[in-house]
């Protein structure tokens, strides 16, 4: 596993000028965790997990949220055959997709940010530990199918988050340098992956406490894409760019 990123973080001033942005999906573009939590809670209770008692949201946030399905299958069902455990995970993802069609909502300010990215013709990619079917559905439901030219899925890389491989793959695919790129993430695992790939990470406290995101290495933590802390950083980059051009 990557080392603790508590004392390793990057700032926006280190990436001037911004040329690319990488986005996690679950909990970053959309607040999907309540849907995942509901699906896990219902299905785990149905099979008698935890003595038939529903898992708590605290258990979900601490042990499940942001995890890769292979790892979650081993954690939740250490005594099961791995194939059987993965069948459970696949069924849970099917339930998630069915629920997401009616329940998925964008994080506040997402369209404003996407327009800012488009107006500046910045490179971008979506980078996720979610299965590809989930990722493509969520991006489609959010109306961003044309916004993202590349979707990188953790299970299709050598290693998923919290390793840096998915983010490094995304940089290669869009032809960007970590020196001019930053990341949006909502989980400690995702933040550690972005930092390990050499980039500043903006943490969204969609579901995780600010202190958890900062400890993982987030440069700043914001509530959503309307947060003035974010726009202050983006405006500062534009001021530096204008000064460099002598405007």
Task: Please identify every residue annotated as catalytic.
Answer: 24, 26
Query: CB within 8 A of 40, min separation 6: which ones?
Result: 55, 60, 64, 92
- Phi-psi group of 153: left, alpha or beta (phi > 0 → left; psi -120 to 50 → alpha; rest → beta): beta
Rounded CA separation 156/176 (Å): 20
Yes or no: say if 240 and 17 are a contact pair by the CB < 8 Å rule.
yes
Yes or no: say if 113 and 224 are a contact pair by the CB < 8 Å rule.
no
Which string of b and e fits 145-180 if b means at least 16 CB within 10 Å? eebbeebbbbeebeebbbbbbbbbbbbeebebebeb
Strands of 2-148 (E only): list them: 20-23, 123-128
């Amino acid at each position: 596993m990557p080392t603790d990123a508590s004392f390793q973080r990057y700032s926006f001033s280190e990436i001037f000028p911004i040329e690319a942005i990488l986005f996690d999906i679950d909990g970053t573009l959309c607040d999907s965790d309540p849907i995942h939590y509901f699906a896990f809670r219902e299905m785990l209770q149905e099979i008698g997990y935890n003595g038939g008692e529903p898992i708590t949201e605290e258990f979900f946030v601490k042990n499940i949220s942001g995890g890769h399905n292979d790892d979650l299958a081993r954690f939740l069902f250490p005594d099961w055959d791995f194939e059987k455990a993965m069948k459970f995970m696949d069924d849970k993802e099917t339930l998630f997709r069915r629920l997401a069609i009616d329940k998925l909502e964008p994080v506040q300010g997402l369209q404003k940010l996407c327009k800012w990215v488009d107006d500046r013709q910045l490179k971008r990619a979506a980078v996720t530990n979610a299965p590809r079917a989930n990722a493509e559905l969520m991006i489609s439901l959010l109306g961003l199918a044309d916004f993202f030219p590349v979707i990188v899925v953790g299970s299709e890389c050598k290693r998923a988050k919290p390793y840096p491989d998915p983010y490094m793959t995304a940089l290669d695919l869009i032809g960007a340098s970590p020196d001019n790129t930053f990341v949006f993430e909502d989980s400690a695992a995702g933040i550690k992956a972005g930092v390990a790939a050499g980039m500043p990470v903006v943490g969204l406290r969609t579901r995780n406490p600010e202190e958890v995101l900062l400890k993982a290495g987030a440069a700043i933590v914001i509530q959503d894409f309307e947060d003035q802390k974010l726009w202050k950083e983006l405006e500062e980059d534009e001021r530096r760019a204008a000064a460099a051009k002598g405007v």
